[in-house]
Amino acid sequence: MSDKYIISESGVGSLIDAIGKSGRRVLGPKEVAERIEIAEIKNAAQLATKGQSIVSAKGTVFPKVERLMKYKYEGKNIVLDDVDPNAAPTVLFGVRPCEARAFHALDVVFNWDYKDKFFNARLANTTVVAIGCTEADASCFCTSVGSRPDDPQGSDILLSRLKSGGYLAEVNTDKGKALVALAKDVFQPLPGVADLVPAATVAPAFDAKVLEQKLAGKFDNPVWLEQSLRCLGCGACAFVCPTCVCFSIEDEADARRGERLRTWDSCGLRLFTLHASGHNPRDKQSQRWRQRVYHKFAYYPDRFKTLGCVGCGKCSRACPVDMNLKQHLAQAAEG
Amino acid sequence: MAEPFEPKLTAFVCNWCTYAGADLTGTSRIKYQSNVRVIRLPCTGRIDFMMVLKAFSRGSDGVIISGCHPNDCHYTSGNYHARRRWMVFRDLLDFVGVDLNRVTFSWVSAAEGAKWAELVNETTNRVRELGPYKEVQQLAAVGIE
Amino acid sequence: MTAMEKDSQNIYKPYLMRIAAITDEAPGVRTFRLEFTDAREAEAFQFKTGQFGLYSAFGEGECTFCIASSPTRKGYIECTFRETGRVTSALGDKDVGDIVGFRGPYGNVFPLEKWKGKNLIFVAGGIALPPLRSVIWNCLDLRDWFKDITVVYGARTVNDLVYKHELEEWGKRTDMKLVTTVDPGGERPGWTGKVGFVPHIVEQIAPAAANTVAIVCGPPIMIKLTLPVLAKLSFGKTEIYTTLENRMKCGLGKCGRCNTGRSYVCKDGPVYTLAELEKLPAEY
Amino acid sequence: MEALRNKAKELLAAGAVKVVIGYGQGTGDSRRPVFVHSADKVTDLVFDKACTQNLATYLTKSEVRAMGRMAIVAVPSTLRSILQLAAEKQLREENVVALAMIDGVMKDLSTFDAIEETVATVPDAISEADQKVIDKLMAMSSSERRAFWADELGRCVKCYACRSSCPMCYCERCTMDCNRPQWIPVASHAIGNLEYHVVRAMHLAGRCVQCGTCGAACPVGIPVHLLTFFAEGTVRRQFGQKGGASAKLDYAMSTFKPDDKEQFIR
């Protein structure tokens, strides 16, 4: 059960101040030149309350470029320098509930077998304060993937807008409680029933369970070629995605020292599976597009008991050729 | 007291003219500043613009690019092709904010030992005035968490 | 090591290995014998046949190959690779005494226990002998576990055969049968082996399928043509094993490259039975 | 738009082309590329002011080419791309019909000469907004410009949407993907991003048709097209030739004139 409080409109600012003073950095959606980015938030006015950031907040726990180790040459010998992730205590403030849920989909991959200390250190130091959606757009489909615009899953604190101004705060975890302790005055007792601004309406476009069953028999269906014909084979969808976890490991070095970096990668890029011999198991864009869909909607549920998608629609918004994932999945779930 | 700043220059030169010219500088016992590291390539046509970028990102404070005078190319037209590329590249470098005072293009023939010395001295002095090129060198550490 | 200590380890940090010996096997193909630089690591290290690792050429990156030596031979590991890409070329430039990185062992294993009391036939082509070499030596070192052991190995030319000294040794052994072959036109004067493609040779020697396990590894075309031959000889789909080598960056079930169907080749593989393989999409 | 649909219908019905590459209804008010294979599907085609993307990118895509002869709904930049692709021997005249949309009027152009004539009559100045940014940048000091690009390119995630959407980036294996040696870092850190975008601009100098599709494709809104525009601008100014003006043009950067200006060379 979650603890429920009321936060006034001005209380949000006080809370951000208090978090900042406690030595945590506050990141959140911020409008910069007509775009929304996940960036440092200094005061409540900087928070973008409408729309979604273009790139997800996953960089907080899984940066686009991160150092896995360093090394230097000493004559013929090599000296390895194990690095620790620079995991600054962080509060992700004001992200959407879909983003908050996405951390679970990353977690299952980074921890299902070997434990990834880089991801774990960052995740342990991240607290998520999400704000429920009261608006959605044509790319959103959280309701089709087992969620909703006011889903508390994954949020340490979920804020829901009150008709009278301010927010209802549902504190779901110990990390959330730690934030409450930072600014006790901000979290006021709940006077009876909260009168909430209604959550956004997101009409379900398909049923993820049905989709999973349909995918089982659709691997060789021409639908993947048809859908991917306009796909350019870039990685925009994967790089803005809050759950895409595929990465590459790259060495960068000079004659004296080097480092091993982990960078985001995408199954949509041709090089992803290309062997040095020239053989490519997924040589065609249609195969790569199919892999993207199957990985998230068939292999994840089978293997990790969760979907590899939270229905945020960022991929569709970022796509230069309008590959609308919701429509494509609805099509795949039919017939 | 801190050591006075000594710039590091990288020179990309062609084998046939400028390298021979620089050689002549030495054999003629013309003294010039020792801040330059010469990288010999077959022809100015082989001097990929990436090399210039790499030189800066790997710690050069200035770059010299030099080859045969027009009409003197060992391979007939390598320097003409290079010249076109430099024209576009130089403008583009300027557009992305690389300081053109740190890049010197020149023709130095095998007979121009004195010109080579002059060129290196001039560029070295100019870059010494400008100071270390931290703006670009430091980029190498930006963006890795 | 406690569970908590284990969880806080950097799973991407390789062991540092010294190249103890280099053997030139065939044009562009080399074998490294690698020894741990740290005695404690050497002591603690264990692997089973079929497993693979990621080998680092520092400054260039990592590359995936199987461990080509047998776990019964302690104190070192061996790997065999062809110089093809960025990392393998950099490895090819190394000398004895140089340091390379190794992460592993990763992946599943050949189920030797399950094969006890059976006949074994190994079928390999070209540069795909190294993964089988590990298991062949392992089986030879545990010779009394198994009945007949047959190895069919082919390459394009005599020159392209790897482990030439070991082939000679296997050829002389009386407790196993070795059949080597080269593609037509790949023979040279004095060649005493067969001439012909591996699938045809398998058909010729026609091993009995009863109580026999077939382990097949080679280029996709060889596998594709050998499987029907084995099927014709009535080998069961669970009695045919192979090992996949998808591109990998992590080996830990995270980076997503080797994902094929629900399988992560680095975790569920690289060893698959034909029955398992047929359940995967043909993305390998 | 009716003329466009009718022409598409005619071509498909007669079997003159196997596919029409055009614009269709996208999410919300947006437009997206569509591929029409049969005469009864031509109502999928739309054309209005929102259709700005340069579809010529698809002309070199193997899956699309495999279908057979192509018709393409072409805005002026698409026409220029067709000519440039032809000049680079990537496209044959018999493989493509351009359905040019110029000031709302449809013209079907089936020869490169016809396309060239049309292109010559259409202004190809870059947009005022883009010119303003370039002017603003050129008025800055060198270090201000560096700061501008450091800020912009700092957002780059190396998704390669710019490269993938560019009609002229058709290389089977891009130089960015060549790793022996790895000239351009894979990682999207500051230096990797700068090197990537500078090299991309250099590779497009003399070939860029100034469509701006790369900039529009960038998910994080980096004006990457300004870099290629600028490099192309230098070529136009210095060497007097334009990318995409003709199907018979030599690549400006692989030729030279003995009297190319060289005031900057000492």
Interface A:B, Cβ pairs < 8 A: 14
Across A181-187, average pLDDT: 95
Q: Is the pLDDT of residue A275 over 60?
A: yes
CA D94 to chain centre: 21
pLDDT at D240 over 90: yes
Q: How many CB atoms are located within 10 Å of the residue D125 CB?
A: 8
User: What pLDDT, in 10s, does the model give residues C247-279?
Assistant: 999 999 999 999 999 999 999 989 999 999 999
- CA–CA dist A134, A124 (Å, integer): 29
Report CB contact under 8 Å: D253, B91. Answer: no
Mean pLDDT for C75-99 is: 95
Residue D242 has pLDDT above 80, yes or no: yes
pLDDT band at A194 (very low <50, low <70, confident <90, very high): confident
Calculate the average pLDDT of chain C. 94
End-to-end CA distance of chain B: 34
- Residues A77 and C58 sit within 8 Å (Cβ to Cβ): no
Residue ranges per domain, chain A? 3-333
Percent of chain B's residues with pLDDT above 90: 91
| pLDDT score, position A180 | 96
Q: Measure Cα distances from B109 to B16, B22, B72, D239, D256 in Å.
A: 8, 9, 8, 26, 21
Residue A202 has pLDDT above 70, yes or no: yes
**Hey, what domains does chain B have and what are their CATH numbers?**
9-140 (3.40.50)
Residue B54 pLDDT greater than 90, yes or no = yes
Residue A49's pLDDT band (cuts 50, 70, 90)? confident
The 10 Å CB-count burial string (b at 16+, else e) for C245-274 is bbbbbbbbbbbbbbbbbbbbbbbbbbbbbb
The residue of chain A with its CA nearest to that of C219 is: A279
Interface mutation target, options B57, B139, B142, B144, chain A, most CBs of A under 10 Å: B144
Predicted confidence at residue C56, as pLDDT, reads 97
**How many angstroms separate the CA atoms of C203 and D227, rounded?**
62
Q: Is residue D214 pLDDT above 60, yes or no? A: yes
pLDDT grade for C220, boundaries at 50, 70 and 90: confident
Q: What is the pLDDT of residue C4?
A: 74
Residues of chain D contacting B70 with CB distance shorter than 8 Å:
258, 262
Q: Which residues contact D52 (CB under 8 A, 6 or more apart)?
A: D75, D212, D216
A276 → chain C, closest CA residue: C85
Strands in D105-109's sheet, in edge-to-edge order, are D31-36, D19-25, D70-74, D96-102, D105-109
So what's the pLDDT on residue A176?
97
- The average confidence (pLDDT) of chain A is 95
Summarised one tens digit per residue, pLDDT across range C116-148 is: 999 999 999 999 999 999 999 999 999 999 999
Residue A86 has pLDDT above 90, yes or no: no
Total residues found in chain B within this entry: 145
Percentage of the residues of chain D whose pLDDT score is greater than 90: 92
**Residue C47: pLDDT above 90?**
yes
CATH architecture of C11-106: Beta Barrel (2.40)
The predicted pLDDT at position A2 comes to: 85
> How confident is the model over C168-179, as a mean pLDDT?
96
- Cα(C170)–Cα(D78) distance, integer angstroms: 65
Q: Is the pLDDT of residue D22 over 60?
A: yes
How many CB atoms neighbour CB A145 within 10 A? 25
How far does A67 lie from chain B, in Å, by closest CA? Answer: 6
Q: Tell me the C-alpha to C-alpha distance, in Å, between residue C281 and each of A215, A290, C275, C284.
A: 13, 11, 12, 8
Does A43 have pLDDT greater than 90? yes
The residue extents of the domains of chain C are 11-106, 112-243
- Partner residue facing D143 (CB), from B105, B135, B144: B135
DSSP line for D196-209: HHHHHHHHHTTT--
Residues C213-223, mean pLDDT to the nearest whole number: 92
Phi and psi dihedrals of B104, rounded to 5?
A: -115, 125
A88-141, pLDDT tens digit by residue?
999 999 999 999 999 999 999 999 999 999 999 999 999 999 999 999 999 999
> In the prediction, which pLDDT does C245 show?
86
- The mean pLDDT of chain B is 95
Q: Which two tokens stand for residue C185?
A: 């036109």
Residue of D nearest to C86 (CA): D180
The span from the CA of C103 to the CA of C34, in Å, is 12
Per-residue pLDDT reduced to its tens digit, D218-234: 999 999 999 999 999 99
Q: Extract the runs of DSSP E, i.e. beta strands, from chain A.
A: 3-7, 25-32, 35-40, 65-74, 77-82, 90-95, 126-131, 157-161, 167-171, 188-189, 247-253, 257-264
pLDDT interval class at B1 (50, 70, 90): low
Q: What is the pLDDT of residue D231?
A: 97
Token pair 């410009």 in the structure block, residue? D145
Cα angle, residue D191 at apex, residues D188 and D196 outer, rounded to 5°: 65
Residues of C in contact with D180 (CB under 8 A): 85-86, 89
Architecture of domain C112-243: 3-Layer(aba) Sandwich (3.40)
**Among C58, C98, C63, which residue's Cα sits nearest to residue C79?**
C63
Query: Binning pLDDT at 50, 70 and 90, where does residue A1 land?
Result: low
**Percentage of residues of chain D with pLDDT beyond 70:** 100
Q: Is the pLDDT reported for residue D11 higher than 80?
A: yes
Strand pairing partners for D21?
D35, D72
Q: How confident is the model at residue B15 (pLDDT cuts 50, 70, 90)?
A: very high
Q: Is the pLDDT confidence value at C3 over 90?
A: no
Residue A104 to chain C, least CA–CA distance (Å): 14
Q: Measure the CA–CA gap between C180 and D118, rounded to whole angstroms.
A: 67
Contact A86 B144 (CB under 8 A): no
Q: Read off the pLDDT of each residue in B41-47 and give the average, rounded to a whole number.
A: 95
pLDDT band at C283 (very low <50, low <70, confident <90, very high): confident
Band of the pLDDT at D74, cuts 50, 70, 90? Answer: very high
Confidence of residue C227 (pLDDT cuts 50, 70, 90): very high
Within this chain, domains C11-106 and C112-243 share the same CATH topology: no
Q: Give pLDDT tens digits for A210-267.
A: 999 999 999 999 999 999 999 999 999 999 999 999 999 999 999 899 999 999 999 9
Chains B, C in contact: 3+ Cβ pairs under 8 A?
no
Neighbouring-strand partners of residue A21: none
Name every chain C residue with its beta carbon within 8 A of the beta carbon of A273. 246-247, 257, 283
Of all residues in chain D, the one with the smallest CA distance to B85 is: D253
